[in-house]
Amino acid sequence: MTDLSNKPVDELTEPEADAELARLARAIAEADIAYHQNDAPEITDADYDAMRRRNDAIEEAFPHLVREDSPSLSVGAPPAEGFAKVRHAVPMLSLAKAYTDEDVVDFITRGRRFFERDKDLDIAFTAEPKIDGLSASLLYENGVFVRGATRGDGAVGEDITANLRTIKDIPEKLKGSGWPASIEIRGEVYMTYAEFQALKARSAASGGQDYVNPRNTAAGSLRQKDASVTASRNLKFFAYAWGATTEDPAPTQYDAVQKFAEWGFQVTPLMVRARSVDELIAQYRLIEEQRSSLGYDIDGVVYKVDQLELQRRWGFVTGEPRWAVAHKFPAEQASTVVKRIDIQVGRTGTLAPVARLEPVTVGGVVVENVTLHNEDYIKGFDSNGMPIREGVDIRIGDTVVIQRAGDVIPQIVRVVLEKRPSDAVPYEFPHECPVCGSPATREINEKTGKEDSRRRCTGELICPAQAVEGLRHFVSRGALDIEGLGAENIELFFSKGLVRTAADIFTLHERRPAVQQALAERREEQARLREAASGKTRKNVRSVEDRNFEGLDKLFKAIDDRREPELDRFIFALGIRHIGETTAAVLARTFSTMEELIRVGKETAGAEDPKAVFPSVDGIGGTVIEALTDFFGNERNDDVLDRLLEQVHPKPYIVNVSADSVVAGKTVVFTGSLEKMSRSEAKAMAERLGAKVAGSVSAQTDILVAGPGAGSKLKKAEELGVEVISEDAWFERVGK
């Protein structure tokens, strides 16, 4: 497949443009989830912005090719599982980006051109630092804080009210007077450098996790199930905007923010009102100069039209206000030396190389580690085999220039060859997992015929590095869904040696005293952190034996209730690579029992040509067959699976399509935002009723179930005369 990523937009053919839009939609969606949902960005801000700009340029040149899942039609990522959802009355939009002074001139020129008929109009603008944290929206009713939420995908966020209440900068009741009866105050939650370093020190002293940067740590702190953990992080909040409100706080942006200060919020002291490009850029330079001394991360300066009436008149373009722009800072650079290269094993078994550096300060942050992505990157090539850094490889002992692109992820810009030691040798990437010793392989992409850029451990169930994430997945909502056994408890029980494999979960009750002790120690630690944060000393501390742990009975019952799971859930829970909920359902439907799937999996794994042995199943391709071959061909997985099946007995998969099922044999497509069930739940329901679920609308489609926000699929269904019904009508039809 030809690499189109560097081909100029004006040279793309229509099929090439269509392919590029599909690639960009996938890549941007993955980046959004990594940044907004997982708080673990995988690409730099600059690379992300470049993909967005390329997507916009292609859509402008080929407007008829705009996809239903286009990044230009969405903001952020869907809210993560585990928190209640909050639909924003006014969407929380992203901002257009400016990278040069000329971009700022263009922004001001567009504004003046839009209002050029108002000859005497005096347009003012505001300039303020762009805080690098997590956006939050706070609802106040009659001056009282009632609910807080994350941005999420811009339309729907996560309810994190309890955690936001722990932030001292967020008042429970507004001060002063003049606030609207109802208003959503919006701003940024962030962590100072001092608090970040203190947290790192506390964690290191107790043998806890390492923290990457203040932004990710602040975001992770806000998503804690235990609000006392959030309280111990001493987060901060700057207010700078608002959403739904019964009346404007003030006639202008600047005066509204000053009102926020009167009502008890912290606002940036670096916000100014200006009337010319020169004044705005002067403030940008001033903020840039003060950046390293602020004590918290900023990554640019935001300019907004000051008058609210003019904001409303200028309006919005898809996903962004026309009246605002973020002027980003250029990345700062520094040189240092690569001391060694370590291999970390991620949750999916990916071998991730990390360069350990001589500590160097970049952008106000000490950088000691930088990701090297994969073995091709170390050799000097990108995922398409094209040279990067002029094809120069990275070796231990090299002097390298690094930058914190977007002030988030450190990256190596170039290797200083003239300083390369004479004894430096090319780095040999391991072909075995450094943790469990299982083979580490690079899969072949069946569509492109190329090797995957990442090498992965095939140990899966027996690899300790993958164990915690695998256990979290095993008990997650889409898998066995064991209530009360969330990520924090899994991590705790694993660290204490109480749970090592999935089978251990079902014998956890046998270790009740140790479980009780572990929970007590964690509570004590959390209490100490709260104590340290508040400066108050606890009195009458109860002993472990005095504590009431009736909740354990509830947990053990929840575990017992999952000893006979549905087969498709069990297959999905195993965490086999490339086996998602949909594929797990296909496998369950095809083989009916776990015993039969194991038999076929073993037979396939032992064959010279696995693809020739595995039954031909619609929806199961070479990638999945290879994943099953790796899983069932690894003898070290056998004992783990055998032990698990001694405790858990998956139900045979039986499709009971009643004679009166009105959708049996029908082809159904779901589109838009489903509000009563997830897309996977909708698909499973339809399939159990004997319907076939398709991903796109065609002449063979019988029913389109359309939720809010339905786009091109709805239009095509109407053109083809396909029956369109709402989600409520779907439930009525199937009698649910």
Question: Which amino acid makes up residue 114?
Answer: F
CATH architecture of 567-647: Orthogonal Bundle (1.10)
Question: Pairing mode, if any, of strands 125-131 and 272-274?
Answer: antiparallel
704's enclosing H/E stretch is strand 703-706
Count Cβ atoms below 10 Å from residue 41 Cβ, excluding itself. Answer: 20
**pLDDT at residue 407, as a whole number:** 47
**pLDDT at residue 598, as a whole number:** 93
Contact at 8 Å (CB) between 416 and 352?
Answer: no
Instruction: Please check whether the domain covering 462-560 is classified as CATH 1.10.150.
Output: yes
Instruction: Tell me the mean pLDDT in the region 117-142.
Output: 92
695 vs 537 pLDDT, higher one: 695
Q: Is residue 14's pLDDT more than 90? A: no
Every domain of the chain and the residues it spans: 9-73, 85-328, 332-457, 462-560, 567-647, 667-734
**pLDDT at residue 405, as a whole number:** 58
Catalytic one among 7, 97, 119, 130?
130
Cα angle 552, 554, 555 (rounded to 5 degrees) comes to 65
Q: What is the pLDDT of residues 279-300, one digit of tens each?
A: 999 999 999 888 878 889 888 9
Assign 730 to helix, strand or coil: helix
Burial status of residue 729 (CB atoms within 10 A of its CB: 0-12, 13-18, 19 or more) = middle
Q: What is the pLDDT of residues 498-532, one digit of tens each?
A: 998 899 999 999 999 999 998 888 888 877 766 66
Is the whole-model pTM more than 0.95?
no
Q: Please state, in angstroms and rounded to a whole number, the distance separating the CA atoms of residues 51 and 43.
A: 11
Question: Pairing mode, if any, of strands 333-345 and 723-725?
Answer: unpaired
- With a CB cutoff of 8 Å and minimum separation 6, the contacts of 458 are 349, 433, 438, 439, 440, 441, 630, 634
Contact at 8 Å (CB) between 328 and 301?
Answer: no
Sign, CA dihedral 641-642-648-650, equals: positive
Closest CA to 564 of 623, 678, 652: 652
Q: What is the pLDDT of residues 642-693, one digit of tens each?
A: 999 999 999 988 765 555 678 887 888 888 877 777 676 677 778 778 787 7
Contact at 8 Å (CB) between 223 and 158?
Answer: yes
The CATH classification number of 332-457 equals: 2.40.50.140
Q: Is residue 116's pLDDT more than 80? A: yes
Q: Where are the alpha helices (DSSP H) in 291-324?
A: 308-314
Q: What is the DSSP string of 565-615?
A: -BHHHHHHHTT-TT--HHHHHHHHHHH-SHHHHHHHHHHHHTSSSHHHHS-
Q: Is residue 541's pLDDT more than 60? A: no
Count Cβ atoms below 10 Å from residue 386 Cβ, excluding itself. Answer: 12
Q: Please state, in angstroms and rounded to a whole number, the distance separating the CA atoms of residues 306 and 300.
A: 18
Residue 221's pLDDT band (cuts 50, 70, 90): confident
What phi, psi does 265 have (nearest 5°)? -95, 155
Q: Is 130 a catalytic site residue?
A: yes
What phi, psi does 690 have (nearest 5°)? 90, 10
- With a CB cutoff of 8 Å and minimum separation 6, the contacts of 171 are 145, 263, 264, 265
232 vs 342 pLDDT, higher one: 342
Q: Please state, in angstroms and rounded to a whole number, the distance separating the CA atoms of residues 133 and 218.
A: 7
Instruction: Please check whether the domain covering 667-734 is classified as CATH 2.70.98.60.
Output: no
Q: Is residue 137's pLDDT more than 90? A: yes
Q: How would you list the strands of the sheet with 134-141, edge to edge? A: 144-150, 134-141, 182-190, 236-245
Q: What is the pLDDT of residues 546-556, one digit of tens each?
A: 444 557 888 99
**pLDDT at residue 543, as a whole number:** 46
Distance between first and last Cα of the chain: 46
Q: Please state, in angstroms and rounded to a whole number, the distance separating the CA atoms of residues 98 and 112.
A: 17
Superfamily for domain range 9-73: Helix hairpin bin (1.10.287.610)
Q: Is residue 207's pLDDT more than 70? A: no
Residue 347's pLDDT band (cuts 50, 70, 90): low
Contact at 8 Å (CB) between 351 and 457?
Answer: yes
Residue indicated by tokens 């605002």: 324
Instruction: Tell me the mean pLDDT in the region 451-458.
Output: 85
Contact at 8 Å (CB) between 396 and 339?
Answer: yes
Annotation: CATH topology of 85-328: D-amino Acid Aminotransferase; Chain A, domain 1 (3.30.470)
Structure tokens at 211: 């923290």
Question: Maximum distance among all alpha carbons in the chain?
Answer: 82
548 vs 24 pLDDT, higher one: 24
Q: What is the DSSP letter of 269?
A: T
Structure tokens at 607: 């064959």
Structure tokens at 279: 């004044």
Domains 85-328 and 462-560 share a fold: no
